[in-house]
């Protein structure tokens, strides 16, 4: 059993994260790398926030597409995807 959990990038989320903070950890959230407390906050925000919800669905779809079409690809395409998320983030905030 693992006692530690992987720290999310940067500082932990506040109790009521805004869109920007959710977007910052979205990649980790989708990768299942976020701690359970932060993941809960992100999920709660996504359930109520339409722009973020759309963003998550988009990123999920893209990641699935990459996995299905090119299961051998990882770092390069995923870092490109992260930049794509950053662009969406700039439009929605
Ligand atoms: Zn939001």
* Residue 5 placed within a domain: no
* pLDDT tens-place string over residues 34-88: 899 999 999 899 888 988 887 888 877 777 777 777 767 666 666 777 777 677 6
Selection from 5, 19, 85 nearest residue 50 by Cα: 19
* Residue 24 placed within a domain: yes
Prediction pTM value = 0.58
Query: How would you label 58-85 residue by residue, b for 16+ Cβ within 10 Å and e otherwise?
Result: ebeebbeebeeeeeeeeeeeeeebeeeb
The number of distinct structural domains making up the chain is 1
Length of the chain equals: 93
* Residue 9 placed within a domain: no
Q: Report how far ligand 1's centroid is from the alpha carbon of 70 (Å).
A: 30
Supply the range of the domain harboring residue 41: 19-92
* Residue 1 placed within a domain: no
Q: Report how far ligand 1's centroid is from the alpha carbon of 64 (Å).
A: 22
């Amino acid at each position: 059993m693992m006692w530690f959990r992987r720290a999310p990038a940067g500082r932990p989320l506040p109790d009521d994260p805004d869109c920007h903070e959710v977007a910052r950890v979205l990649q980790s959230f989708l990768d299942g790398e976020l701690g359970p407390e932060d993941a809960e906050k992100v999920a709660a925000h996504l359930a109520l926030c339409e722009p973020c919800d759309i963003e998550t669905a988009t990123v999920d779809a893209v990641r699935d597409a990459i996995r299905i079409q090119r299961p051998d690809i990882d770092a390069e395409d995923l870092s490109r995807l992260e930049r794509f998320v950053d662009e969406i983030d700039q439009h929605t905030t």
